[in-house]
Structure 1
Amino acid sequence: MESATPAYLKYIDGKCEIELSRPVTLANGIEQKTLSMREPTVEDQIVHDEMKGSDAVREVAMFSNLCEISPDDIRKLSLKSYQRLQKAYSGFLD
């Protein structure tokens, strides 16, 4: 039995809108309550697999690319918000 998509994720036209657990101020000075993640491509996976660094560093770089924000902005997220990004990403793989 498949689990329902959580209310904080909305998949529309190859993107996922992710409601953060709490707002975060990005490097550009704009406070965000949501992030948009595009659907990953095979190329994204190849780049991820060939990247050096720990699994965590590579995952942050992948999410940064897919959400079109800097890795430093991803690192500012609360762990709960980061887990929402992980859930959004895995939703593209189901």
Structure 2
Amino acid sequence: MSNKTPDYLRHDDQGYCDITLARPITLENGVEQGTLRMREPTVEDQIVHDEMKGSDAVREVTMFANLCEVAPSDIRKLNLKSYKRLQEAYAGFLD
């Protein structure tokens, strides 16, 4: 089993990961996006996540929106393949 990072994830040494979406989405601000940039999570992000009300899924969507600097409704528009890529990017920061 290979630990190679998939081509759709590009981590840099500044604490960011560019995620190529499976299909572009139109953000709330009207801009079409084919990639999202996720910043590296902080301890504060984890505390806010843990103290947030709602289901695990809603809390995760909200955290990903914060890390990608988009609205939670934008994350909700993603198809599941693209959402899984966000989950992979997040997990990559924890390794």
Structure 1's unaligned 5+ residue stretches are: none
Which residue is 1:71 aligned to? 72
Which one-letter code corresponds to 1:62 in the other structure? M
State the match for 1:61 in structure 2. 62
TM-score by length of 1: 0.97
- Structure 2 residue runs of 5 or longer lacking an equivalent are none
* Matched pairs, number: 94
- Letter paired with 1:51: M
Q: Aligned residues: percent identity?
A: 72
The list of structure 1 runs, each at least 4 consecutive aligned residues, that deviate by more than 4 angstroms after superposition, is none
Q: Distance in 2 between matches of 1:22 and 1:11?
A: 20
Partner of 2:93: 92
Inter-partner Cα distance in structure 1 for 2:78 and 2:40? 20
Per-residue CA shift, 1:3-36, capped at 9, x if unaligned? 1111000001100000000100001000000000
- Return the offset for 1:2: 6.0
Deviation string, structure 1 residues 55-88 (Cα, Å, up to 9, x no partner): 0000000000000000000000011000000000
Cα root mean square deviation, aligned: 1.0
Match of 2:40 in 1: 39
Aligned AA for 1:22? Answer: R
With normalisation by structure 2, the TM-score equals 0.96
